[in-house]
A and B are shown apart, each in its own frame.
Chain A
């Protein structure tokens, strides 16, 4: 019999035995062990790692993953009423086509000479977002909307040199948790009711760096007093930091238009798949005000000429702000975050255009109003704020005997995902442009049977 053909791992070409020997010989080494000479014996792992047997082929790996994935349910969009920070919207096919290109998916941190395309696509993303947000500066994305909010507040703290942060209205508890972790020891957080009188009272304590509020709060409610909070913040010398759901901004006013200093949020609704909560990316926008630009920790790409007339070149604006340039003397820290999601959002905005953004915002507003109206018609289901305008998310109160958890389970038994308990008798729902009238009616009919 001939010798067995080595099964060289396809991801490790130089592990082929004859290649390995030849390379060792080329550098005058007998064994790879020589390269580990500096690792003391006491620190060496004296046994193989205890890991499961790997799959011997791509085919068997695929079969294994398929078994795992088979125990996940991909819910049709019309049957899912889950939102609260992670949304099912239509992802245009062109967005997926672009972000799945090898050239973008596998690139990293090259210079603008090898990676011109990445720089231009991200600069265009900044520019498209700037139009949506009505600002002149938008960062290369940070990790997610939580980090964007936390960093915007630290920016406000540095810009003002003040300590207190007022947080207005209902905030996603997870986002609040992120903010608490990020400002600990530096800032004091003060939750304030969504009421101009409460905001004014809280401001009288002085030393307020920022008033943080949301265009749509954790319950999806559009807060009609938001411009008032911005005005009050400015009167007290504080900055106004406003969180937005960007897909609402074709119909809702961008907070910068009524004076917000920093706008932040999460890009996920703009062409990024939910992926079990893994599809987030954070944005921060502001005026091109040196005082604020100087406080961004993120990279900011800028446009510049090259040696050749008519060529667009790109590079880092005010790089000396960053921890890349100055380590701990830079602003906070910067690293790999969520750039490809920025490209996705840019492609999404280029496809949607001004009228697409207006239309989708209108469709979601109408669907939300319709869903609230239909659900409130169900005996035993009530709205705490029937006159409010909501965008995508809303919460209902159950007045019958069954708890919110029981109702969510009963919906699930009917193939409907929603009504996430927000308290013993409160359930959260969400609708987007993907829900038809029939989908919403089906939910209302199911609740009619369940909530008695």
Chain B
């Protein structure tokens, strides 16, 4: 079956015209990388192996143990004994290893690309040395119920990290328990709820205000906690509409959940006024600092008057993104709200570091034990490799990189930079390909699929698309000028193709692991398949 859509119409590796050439020089590299993603054409793990193969052998009970206790399962009622072994595949060890290594090669980790295309995600270098600490058995093998005297190092580290983040945020206490950013948002919402409940206003204050360019989890966590959500639209300049805020707040306002700079990269200069308006109405203000990378050491939640804030340690503080976690969140609060934080906290009595479980006004547990400890270790090590001056250099360089890339990208035909004309952007920019779309009929998603052919990520934006045909780029401090030039050149090439050779873009990717995916089955309950057994039943008809 030949289908022009499945292959790149243009050769990526033109051959030397004269095969008999004796020129010993290697020709210079072309301007753009002739990338091709690994394409192992790998089967599913269920299609591999043969019954009888084993990947790893667990220990068996020692004969004396069996002699003493028999098979305890015999004492269970039949309904509680597994009738047949799970239908897992059977593969030898190297076969399992090879399968997953191939899948790993078909995945574009941040270590392998100029990862500025996943805007808002703060893709920065996760230092390899910090990984060595968490693989050390003196972290990896620790059990959280070990006696405190045997884990003083990790308790001290967690305590120290809290002190560092207190200074970086300006807040009075910081909980490191949330598992990631959205869990930190939930934690803040739960603390807000506890605060109003303690004042006897839980029933009255049933509304939370957020903004269109704040992460969707702000709205979603508030709703899950039982609040009515009011979302402020952007005004003509892209700032959250302050008149809409004035109209929204009142005796029912529990809190404002807001990001700044927002996902547009625009810093809202009236943020302190927003906070004041909400405070005057008796509400609390929580600062979603997912976009803190450009303002470390420049401005803090404290100075803007916030009651709560949160950082994503996997974004700003360098812990690896791990395909979408494990991550870590850090919630900073004022002294007034500190009693509501989840426990345990780690306290220092002058001699020893001890977990403090005695927190009667706490919202309770957010996550088991102290949080995602490996990422707390990495974040601590990252801060200690930079210090105050280094963090400021992180912020300033991230902002310089962003404005440099902005200057390069805005020259590309078809792109525009909505809102706040002429104002600088902080650490990211939300662009629009609306003009290109009007000219070519292609969408931002199409450009993203083609960008994959050049070995890069590309992200549109969160839904709904307030900015039409969006693209969000966030070049953190990790990228060199040459890296940024390369990314801009890729975008310029993809945009050029959109105008001159739209079919190549429309049918992309061509040099990726797989080709365009048909999405309709994923939304059809009759055939969607979340597992191999569901696929075999619903699609192949192999199971009843």
Contacts and interface: CB of A to CB of B under 8 A. Distances in A.
Interface string B61-98: 11011101101110111011111011111110100110
A3 interface: no
Interface in A131-152: 131-132, 134-138, 140-141, 143-147
A14 B397 contact: yes
A130 B532 contact: yes
Given A71-B156, A279-B326, A337-B324, 11 more contacts: A23-B401, A42-B303, A72-B152, A106-B321, A113-B514, A114-B37, A118-B107, A224-B77, A277-B143, A278-B369, A437-B64
A317 B531 contact: no
B324 A360 contact: no
Interface in A428-445: 433-434, 436-437
B293 to A, nearest CB: 12
A116 interface: yes
A52 interface: yes
A325 B463 contact: yes
Nearest to B203: A185
B26 interface: no
B499 interface: no
A106 B118 CA distance: 13
Contacts of A134: 86
Interface string A6-28: 00010111110001101110110
Contacts of A73: 138, 146, 150-151
Given A103-B109, A330-B220, A338-B326, A54 B97 contact: no
Interface stretch (B17-25, B331-339, B435-443, B516-524): B516-524
A9 B65 contact: no
A55 B385 contact: yes
Contacts of A180: 364
A359 B72 contact: no
Given A12-B478, A300-B530, A304-B522, A113 B449 contact: yes
Contacts of A154: 224
A124 B45 contact: yes
Contacts of A280: 179, 367-368
Contact of B272 (A42, A121, A434): A42
Nearest to B124: A11
Contact of B118 (A88, A109, A300): A109
Contact of A108 (B321, B384, B388, B394): B321
Contacts of B168: 49, 51
Given A49-B388, A278-B371, A334 B182 contact: yes
B266 A38 contact: yes
B1 A350 contact: no
A72 B153 contact: yes
A343 B100 CA distance: 9
Interface string B461-505: 011100000000000011111000000000000000000000000
Interface string B434-457: 000000000000001100100011
15 contacts: A12-B394, A14-B400, A35-B400, A43-B303, A45-B299, A65-B381, A68-B154, A106-B321, A107-B110, A147-B179, A258-B79, A324-B216, A339-B325, A357-B85, A437-B62
